[in-house]
Structure 1
Amino acid sequence: MCLGIPMQIIAINGFNARCTAKGIERDVSLFMLQHEPIAIGDFVMVHVGYALQKMTPQEAQSTWELLDEMLVLEANFTPSRA
């Protein structure tokens, strides 16, 4: 299963961007989005260091809410013993 993380662009240098999410910063390649207008402040879905698609702020927020719910469920999960 692949997992993409919504991140916000805080700096752009050519096809590379510095992105942030939940206080973590990462360098992200914008190469796959080279035909789309990208600006500082935009949200992108990131997987293994590549921005795969632009997102609206609402899509990014909804995705983070879902990921946060998954983390809570995982933290409270107790496997059943067969």
Structure 2
Amino acid sequence: MFVATNPLPFRFIRRAELLRTLGISRSTLESLIAQGDFPAPFKIGARAVAWRSNEVEAAMQAMPRLNDAYQRAQAMPRARG
């Protein structure tokens, strides 16, 4: 039996959550990715993409305005559904 000794250093963030958290539109996100200012997503399924939270956090450190929005969103309790 496999037993993980260390939890993953990141979690997966889906597009809807990322856009909501950052307070930006999908087209703005796509522009940031195209310009190389934000990490590209990776496929997690046939029709699904996600970002690694550690890559998002690193990108936020480089973009102060988005970092402020991200930090505020992280401080808010998450809705469980």
TM-score band w.r.t. shorter chain: under 0.3
Higher strand share: 1
More helix by share: 2
Q: TM-score, normalised by structure 2?
A: 0.26
Higher relative contact order (CA 8 A, sep 6+): 2
